[in-house]
A and B are shown apart, each in its own frame.
Chain A
Amino acid sequence: MLLLAGSVPVENLPLLIGPIKITSYGISIDGHDLTVNRGNEAMMTAATLICQEFKLDNPVGMVAGDTGNRAGSEAIYKYLAENLPDMDADVVTLHYVMPDINLNKKVLATIDTMKKKPVMIADAGTMYVAKAGGDAHYYDVFTPDLGEMAFLADDKADHPAFTRGYIFDLESDVPALIQKANEANNIPDTMFVKGAVDYICLKGKIVETISEPSVEAMEPIGGTGDLITGMISALLYAGKSPLEACLIAGHVNRLAGLLAKPTPATQVAEILTFLPEALYKVLEKLG
Chain B
Amino acid sequence: MKWFRKKKTKKTDDAELDLVTRGLLIFAHPTTVISVEEILKDEGYSIRVVSPPPSYRTGCDLSVEFPLAAESNITKLLNNVGMAPLDVVPITSEGMEPLHFVRSKEFDGDFLMIRAANMKMTVYKPTREIVNVSGGGCPDVPYLATEMIGKCLSDVSSPGEVGYSLCAYSLNTSYEELVRALGD
Contact = CB atoms under 8 A, between A and B. Distances in A.
The answer to whether A binds B is yes
Interface of A: 7-9, 37-40, 66-70, 72-73, 95-102, 104, 123-129, 132-133, 145, 147-148, 151, 156-165, 168-169, 216-217, 219-225, 263-267
Interface residues of B, number: 48
Contacts of B169: 161
B168 interface: yes
A242 B96 CA distance: 35
Interface string B66-89: 000000000000000000000000
Instruction: Choose among B136, B141, B145 the residue with the greatest number of A CB atoms under 10 Å from its CB.
Output: B136
B107 A160 contact: no
B56 to A, nearest CB: 11
27 contacts: A9-B146, A37-B142, A38-B145, A66-B140, A68-B168, A99-B59, A99-B138, A102-B58, A124-B138, A125-B60, A125-B137, A125-B138, A132-B57, A145-B135, A147-B119, A159-B59, A160-B137, A161-B167, A161-B170, A163-B99, A216-B107, A221-B132, A222-B120, A224-B134, A264-B122, A264-B132, A267-B132
B40 interface: no
A28 to B, nearest CB: 18
A124 B167 CA distance: 10
A158 B124 contact: no
Given A159-B166, A161-B170, A264-B122, 11 more contacts: A8-B142, A9-B146, A38-B142, A68-B164, A124-B136, A151-B117, A160-B117, A161-B166, A222-B134, A264-B131, A267-B132
A147 B137 contact: no
Contacts of B108: 263-264
B59 A220 contact: no
Contact of B96 (A73, A156, A265): A156
B3 interface: no
A37 B146 contact: yes
Given A7-B139, A132-B57, A219 B113 contact: yes
B139 A161 contact: no
Contact of A158 (B57, B111, B115, B165): B57
Nearest to A65: B139
Instruction: Choose among A37, A67, A123, A159 the residue with the greatest number of B CB atoms under 10 Å from its CB.
Output: A159
Nearest to B96: A162
Contacts of B63: none
A125 B139 contact: yes
B114 to A, nearest CB: 10
B163 interface: yes
B139 A72 contact: yes
B101 A165 contact: yes
B45 interface: no
Contact of A220 (B132, B138, B163, B166): B132
Contacts of A151: 117-118
Interface string B145-180: 110010000000000000111111110000000000
B133 A147 contact: no
A157 B120 CA distance: 19
A73 B99 CA distance: 25
B145 A264 contact: no
Contacts of A163: 99, 117
A61 to B, nearest CB: 15
Given A125-B139, A159-B166, A220-B107, A98 B60 contact: yes
Contacts of A266: 132
A273 B101 CA distance: 36
Contacts of B132: 220-222, 264-267
B117 A101 contact: no
A101 B57 contact: yes
B11 interface: no
